[in-house]
Amino acid sequence: MSGRVLVVADDLTGANDTGVQFALAGWSTTLRLGGGAPAPVGPGHATALSTDSRALLSEAASAATRAAVEAEGLDDGDHLYLKTDSTLRGSVAAQIAGALSARSGSPERTIVVLCPAYPAMGRTVRQGRLMVHGEPVTRSPAGRDPVTPVTRDLLTELVPGAVTVPVEPSAGAWARAIDAASARGAVIAADASTDEELARLAEAILLL
C-alpha cells in the first residue's frame, strides 16, 4: 500500500487496537492523543486517533469526524480507515457522513467500503445483515446496550443510502462489483463471514 494511512476511531480503544495492528505489520505508527497540529509524516506511516464520537448525537459526531480528517491533510494517495464498533453501536452513519464530507474536495471519487465483520468474535455480515454468533445483532448484547443500543440489523438501515455487495470469488471480481455499486451510492456495504473473505476484500480495495 502506498501513501499514508489515517485511522479515525470513535473511541480510544479502537484507535489503539488498530494502530497496534499497523505497527505489527511493519508500519511506522503514531497514536495521537489530545489536540494540536499533527506532526508531518511521510508515506508508509499510520496515524491513529480517537474522536470519542460513538455516543455523540449525529451532528456532533459528523462534525468531529470531519474535523479529525481535515486536520491531517490527506493527499489523494493516502488512505482513511474509519474504525467503528464492529456491532455498529452509536453514531456510525454520522461518522461516515463526516468522513465523506471531509474528502468531498478531492478530485478523485471517494467511496466508503463498510464491512463490520469480525469473525474471531462471531460477528459476520450475511446478505447485508449484521450477525453476532449467527443471530441478528439486535438479539445480541449490543442490541441491549444501555447507551448506544443497536436497533436494526440491515446495514442499509443502519447506514441509510448504503449499497450492498455480496462476497465475490476473487479480489478482481469484488473490486469490479464495488466499482459498479458505487454508481448508486458512496457507501458500499460488503458481506464477509471469514478472515479469508476479509483479506480478499482488502485486496479488492487496494485494486480500486
CATH of the domain at 136: 3.40.50.10840
Other CB atoms within 10 Å distance of the CB of residue 26: 8
Q: What is the per-residue pLDDT across 15-53, written as a single tens digit (0 to 9) for each?
A: 999 999 999 999 999 999 876 666 667 778 999 999 999
Other CB atoms within 10 Å distance of the CB of residue 78: 17
Q: In angstroms, what CA-CA distances link 100 with 41, 63, 128, 205?
A: 23, 11, 21, 17
137/155 Cα distance (integer angstroms) = 11
Residues 197 and 180 both lie in one domain = yes
User: 115: domain range?
Assistant: 111-208
Q: What is the per-residue pLDDT across 59-89, written as a single tens digit (0 to 9) for each?
A: 999 999 999 999 988 888 889 999 999 999 9
Residues 91 and 140 both lie in one domain = no
Query: Could you give the residue ranges of the DSSP H alpha helices within 73-194?
Result: 92-102, 155-158, 171-181
Residues 90 and 135 both lie in one domain = no
Residues 3 and 104 both lie in one domain = yes
Residues 49 and 72 both lie in one domain = yes
Residues 143 and 204 both lie in one domain = yes
For the whole model, what pTM was predicted? 0.93
Of the three residues 109, 141, 163, the one that is the final residue of a domain is 109
- Split into its structural domains, the chain has a count of 2
